[in-house]
Amino acid sequence: MSSEMSQTVANKVKNNDIISAENNITKKDFRKTFWRSFTLLNSFNYERMEGLGYLFSIMPELKKIYKDDKEKLKEAYHRHMEAFNMTIAPAPFVMGISIAMEEQAKADPDFDTSSINAVKVALMGPLSGIGDTFFWGIFRVIACSIGISFAKQGNILAPFIMLLLFNIPAFLTRWYGLMIGYTKGSQILADLQESGKMQLFTYCAGIVGVMAIGCMVASQINITSPLVFTIAGQKVVIQEYLDQIMPKLLPLCTTVAVYSAIKKRIKITTIIATIVVIGFVLGVLGVIGA
Amino acid sequence: MEISLIQAVLIAAVAALTNLDGNFFGEMKFREPIVTGFLVGLILGDVSKGLLIGAELQVIWMGATGIGPTAQLDIGVGGTIGTAVALLTGKGAEVAITFGLPMAVIMQFLNTLLMTSYSVLMHRVDKLIDELKERQIVFIHIACGMLTALIYAILTFIVIYFGNNAIDAAVKSLPQWASNGLNAVAVILPALGFALLLNILLETNLIPFFIAGFAITAFLNLNTIAVTCIGLAAAWVIYLIRTNSIPGAAEAAAHNEEDEL
């Protein structure tokens, strides 16, 4: 019996399938968590946010870790039903850490289980910041802008190129995030926080994102003025004067104006309504055109 | 252009897909206008025009980031309905925006209501945990997103199938001055998108790089890929300098400190 068991364990190790022999957690469980993590937002609500999604994602591992102790299992389920909110691509990294900590909690009865959620909460802000920078600020902007140039030529590859460019980094981040979070999560966190490298990394990523946006303000916004005055028999084309000051001056000024409005915490719906009203009037008067 | 029942159902399915993108599929980006423009174009038999309108909407909604509580606009349904209306009436992107934008606002409002109501279900889940009824917990998790998608599909179907004639009449009777006004709104709206993106990324100490990215494109006409490469190089250099990874940098820094002492 025991030789048979050790043989199956040996087989699994050979297949590189076992992740935690102690709790019989396999790569299959991690693959489940990987796919389940995509649904993190499926039951989003204002009270627990992604809480239920988080619980759903790591349920396979929790079930195995606490398979002999129903009360501990309930406690763990409740723990991961707490409010959680994060940009979703880096979330599996946190799940990896949670799974590792749950295993510690099971092995060590003195383990302070409140630290499991403390780590989750501590990571929500910084990881969402990095996630937003990379996925919304960089990958999406670059994928979409390349997609746009293909779409404008009527090329049917446009949506597929866009989807691939965005999803390849997103999938890789999820899978390796989960694995690395499990194996080295707590150590990485300690290192990053100590050295301040996290902020530096985010700042450097911000450079790429902000430059790409600057580029797109100049290339993708086409606000021009069709105004023409005739002064003393001389035709004065306003747009020519504007271009002499700086090309793309109107797109820049408009973007900066809207940005300041957002910074002043004016509601987005108010800003949209204002743009619609002002834009419409300026369009009717012939001040602004395409 | 008339729309058949099957076409309307398929467009409603696209709207449901864009919603599932933000829920079930974990932001795979099916909701982006390039994708919905392509799909709606395919359904209505004009792929290249669908893509063209999709591209214009994409620029406008470049900054419409975030889902859940941070979202301002539901660009998935907005783009789907907008593109469909533009193709059905034979008009351009300004018509797509005129109909897409209000739909994007209304649907986001509806989504907010649904997300508020799902809070109630979470207390049900708390009880189910105590009874260890895992299957029901999973069911609630999956059902929330599916219900939202179903509601999206039904509403989109109603607007497209039953509203088609009214929309068509409204668009056809649009006078030239109103068309000019809508056009101006359409050219200004992209600024909102990029301002929203800046709101995520821009800090005071990043302003120089925004200026650089803008100036490089405005004066030299370089595209996004070129500017991204330059940005990547700049970021890399700064990272190397700050982590003292340039050969001799650590020694030089130490040397400077000695001088100061």
Choose among B180, B213, B239: nearest Cβ to A214: B213
Q: What are phi and psi of A2, to 5 degrees?
A: -70, -35
> Per-residue pLDDT averaged across B157-183, rounded?
86
- pLDDT band at B68, cuts 50/70/90? very low
- Say yes or no for a CB contact (<8 Å) between B34 and A288: no
Residue A128 reports pLDDT greater than 90: no
Q: Which of B60, B61, B11, B7 is nearest to B36 (CA)?
A: B11
Mean of per-residue pLDDT scores for chain A: 87
Q: Which residues pair with A224 in a beta bridge?
A: A289
Task: Please check the confidence at residue A223 and state whether its pLDDT lies above 60.
Answer: yes
Q: What is the pLDDT of residue B151?
A: 95
DSSP for A110-164 reads T--THHHHHHHHHHHHHHHHHHIIIIIIIIHHHHHHHHHHHHHTT-TTHHHHHHH
A81 touches chain B (CB under 8 A): yes
Residues A38, B26: C-beta atoms closer than 8 Å: yes
SS3 state at A231: strand
Q: pTM for this structure?
A: 0.81
User: Which residues in chain A are contacts of B110 at CB distance < 8 A?
Assistant: none
Closest by Cβ to A255, choosing from B23, B180, B194: B194
Q: Does B136 touch chain A (CB under 8 A)?
A: no
Do residues B231 and B213 lie in contact, with contact meaning Cβ atoms separated by under 8 Å?
yes
Residue B10 has pLDDT above 80, yes or no: yes
Kindly state whether A94 is in contact with chain B, defined as any CB-CB distance less than 8 angstroms: no
Average model confidence (pLDDT) across chain B: 87
Pick from B39, B69, B228: which is nearest to A208 by CB? B228
Q: In the structure encoding, which two tokens stand for residue A59, read together?
A: 């349920």
pLDDT tens across A49-72, in order? 899 999 999 999 999 999 999 999
Helix (H) or strand (E) holding B36: helix B33-44
Cβ-based contacts under 8 A for chains A and B: 371
Q: CA B64 → CA A140, A256, B61, B176, B194, distances in Å? A: 11, 17, 5, 29, 9
| Cα–Cα dist A67/B41, whole Å | 52
| pLDDT tens digit sequence for A7-26 | 444 444 445 688 888 888 99
- Tell me the C-alpha distance between B256 and B246, whole Å: 16
Of residues A234 and B46, more confidence is placed in: B46
A200 in contact with B, Cβ within 8 Å: yes
Of the candidates B124, B143, B28, B70, the residue with the CA atom closest to the CA atom of residue A43: B143
Does A27 score more than 50 pLDDT? yes
More confident call, A228 vs B12: B12
Distance from CA of B145 to the nearest CA of A (A): 5
- Mean pLDDT of all residues in A21-35: 92
Q: Is B22 on the interface with A (CB under 8 A)?
A: yes
Task: Say yes or no for a CB contact (<8 Å) between A81 and B122.
Answer: yes
Q: How confident is the model at residue B112 (pLDDT cuts 50, 70, 90)?
A: confident
Q: Is the pLDDT of residue B199 over 90?
A: no
- The dihedral region occupied by A262, where left means phi > 0, alpha psi between -120 and 50, and beta the remainder, is alpha
State ipTM.
0.81
Judged by a CB distance cut-off of 8 A, whether residue A282 touches chain B is yes
Q: Which DSSP helix (H) or strand (E) runs through A235?
A: strand A234-237
State the average pLDDT over residues B229-257: 80
| Shortest distance, CA B241 to any CA of chain A (angstroms) | 11
Condensed to tens digits (0 to 9), the pLDDT of residues A131-182 reads: 877 888 788 888 998 899 899 989 999 999 999 999 999 999 999 999 999 9
Nearest CA among A70, A46, A197, A288 for reference residue B244: A197
Report for A249-253, A264-268, B103-107: range of highest mean pLDDT: A249-253
Give the pLDDT band (50/70/90) at residue B6: very high
Picking from A231, A164, A218, A139, the residue whose alpha carbon sits closest to that of residue B215 is A218
Q: Provide mean pLDDT across the span B75-102.
A: 90
Look at residue A2 in the predicted model and tell me its pLDDT: 46
HEC secondary structure over A173-216: HHHHHHHHHHHHHHHHHHHHHHHCHHHHHHHHHHHHHHHHHHHH
Give contacts of B188 with chain A, Cβ < 8 Å.
223, 254, 275, 278-279, 288
CA atoms of A179 and A93, how far apart (whole Å): 7
Q: Give how far A203 is from chain B: nearest CA, Å.
A: 8
Compare CB distances from B32 to A162, A247, A272 and report the shortest one's residue.
A162
The pLDDT assigned to B70 comes to 53
Is B126 in contact with A78 (Cβ distance < 8 A)?
A: yes
User: Which amino acid is residue B85, in one-letter code?
Assistant: V
pLDDT band at B193 (very low <50, low <70, confident <90, very high): confident
Answer whether residue B111 shows pLDDT above 90. Answer: no
A260/chain B closest Cα distance in angstroms = 8
